Amino acid sequence: MANNINFLGSYSGIDSATIDSMIQAESGKVVQYTNKQTSITAEKNAWKDINTRLDSLFTKLGTLGEDKTFQSKLVTSSDATKVAITAGTDSIASNYSIEVNRLATSTQVTSGKISLADGKTIKESLGLIGKFTVTSQAISGTPEEKETPAGNFEIDITAKDSLKDIVGKINEKSKESGIQAKIVDNRIIMTDSNMGERNMSFSGTGTLVKDLGFEAIPEQNYKVGQSAELTIDGIAITRNTNNVTDAVEGLTIELKGVTEASKPVMIEIKEDTDTSVKAFESFVEQYNSTLTFISDQLDVGNPSAKNNKTGALAGDSSLIRLQSSLRSLMTQSANTGNMSYNNLESIGISVDRYGKATLDKEKLKVGIADDPAAVKKILFQTTSTETTGVGENGESTTVITEKKIGLAQKIQELVNTYISDKTGIIKTKSATYDKLSEDLTKSITKFNERLEKKRANYVTMFSRLDTAMMQAESQMAYLQSQFSTEK
C-alpha cells in the first residue's frame, strides 16, 4: 500500500492531498457532533456551578433559622478580672449587679514527709504492702451531697511500688474519685477537684496510713475547701463552684476574684443584632450571586449581532422556572401575628423588578429589636392540620399533617428539588448530559471509522486509475514505436 500511495497522482494528478480534501468535505457531520458535545459539556458545567450556588444558598437560609441568629446576646462586664459572663440564647437582656465575697476552693491535704532509705529516690520501691483507701465527703451542701461520698476509692500497693507508682495509682482513679495527687519534697499532696467544704479521710491495712504520712496530720497541712459566696442584685447565693450556671437562667457566671466592699461588678446583657445582620447580609449576597449567575446562563445576547454570544443555558425551561420561582418567593407575605412584620420588605429586604435584593441594615435592626419572634416567623414557621377518619376496625383516627410555610423554608424546598442527591433536577440533567455525550462519542467514533474506510477506498481506486493510465501510456508508446519501424 505504501508503494501505491507514493505512486498515487503520478498520472491522474489525484494525490493524497486531494483525497484529504475530499474526506474533509465529507467530515462536516463530525464537526457537528463535536460542536454538540462541547455545548453539552458547557451546559453540564453551568448546572454544576448552579448546584454549588444553590447549595450555599440552602445553607445560609438554614443559618437564619438558628437560635443564635435571633437570640444571640452581647455581654459587658465592668470588671472582667472579677466576674466574667457567658450569655446563652435563652438569657434575658437586662442589667445585673454582682458582688463576690468569697471564691470557692478545694480541700487539700498534705502528708508528712515520707522517709526513704538512704540514696533512694521516689522512683524506687518502698516495700509497702496492703490496701489504701481515700474518702472525700461534703461537709456542707444538700443532704444528698453530705450523705454520698463523692470520692471513695481503694488502691492496692505492692512491695515493688515506688512513691511515684503509688501516686500514679491514685491519679488513675481521679476521673471517678475527683481526687488528684502529686509529690512535693517527698510528700503527697491530695487535692479534691470538687470544691466547697469537704472532708478527706484515709485508711489502710497495717501501718500504710502512717507509712504514707497521713496519720495525725498537722492542722496547717489540712486545708478544708470553702463555698463561693456572692450576691446578685442583693440576693445572697452560695455555690460549691466558681462557675455558677443555675443562678440566672441562660447565664454562666465565672467568679475570678473577690470584689471590694460596695463596689459590685456591673453586668449588661443586650441583644446582639450585629450577628443577626451578618446572617441576613450573607443570605442576601448569596441570593444575588445566584440570581446573577442564572441570568448570565439564560442571556440570549443580541440575536441581530453577527457574532452573538448566548448563555450556556439560554432557553432552558427548568432554569427559567427556577429564576421565576426564586423572585416570586422573595416577595411573598407570611402570617406572623404582627402586621408590621409580615414580609421581607418589612424588615429591610427589598427586591427590584430584576429580582436583585437590597438590605437596609438599620430597618432590619429595628425589626429584630422590636419583635424578633415575628421576624423569625417570616422565614420559619410550621402549621399543623388534623384530619379525622375511620380505621379498619371502625375506630376513629386522627392524622396530623405539618406544613412549612416560612419564606426561608419555601425557598429551601424549591432549592432542594434542584440539588437533591436522589431526585434533584440537576442530578437528572447531569445523567442525561452524560448519556448524550457518551452517545455522541460513539457516533463520532463510528463516523471516523467510515471516513477511514472511504479514504482507503479512494486510495485504492485512484491508485488503480494511475496504474491503468500508466499502462495505457506504455501501450501507446509501443504502438508508436512499431509504426515508426514499418516506415
Query: What is the pLDDT, as a whole number, of residue 258?
Result: 97
The overall pTM is greater than 0.85: no
Burial of 205: CB neighbours in 10 Å, binned 0-12, 13-18, 19+: middle
Q: Mean pLDDT in runs of 10 for the chain (487 residues)?
A: 49 67 67 83 95 97 90 93 94 94 96 85 93 88 60 89 95 91 96 92 94 93 96 95 95 96 94 91 97 95 86 95 96 94 96 95 92 93 83 78 92 97 94 88 78 74 72 73 65
Query: What is the pLDDT, as a whole number, of residue 48?
Result: 96
Q: Which phi-psi region, left, alpha or beta, contains residue 225 (left: φ > 0; alpha: ψ -120 to 50)?
A: beta
Helix axes 28-64, 407-419, angle to 10 degrees: 150
**Cα of 394 vs its chain's centroid, Å:** 49
Do 143 and 173 form a contact (C-beta atoms < 8 A)?
no
Query: What is the pLDDT, as a whole number, of residue 394?
Result: 74
Query: What is the pLDDT, as a whole number, of residue 10?
Result: 56
Nearest to 226 by CA among 124, 325, 141: 141
- Supply 177's cell numbers: 474519685
Helix axes 425-486, 16-26, angle to 10 degrees: 150
Query: What is the pLDDT, as a whole number, of residue 205?
Result: 93
Query: What is the pLDDT, as a whole number, of residue 2?
Result: 42
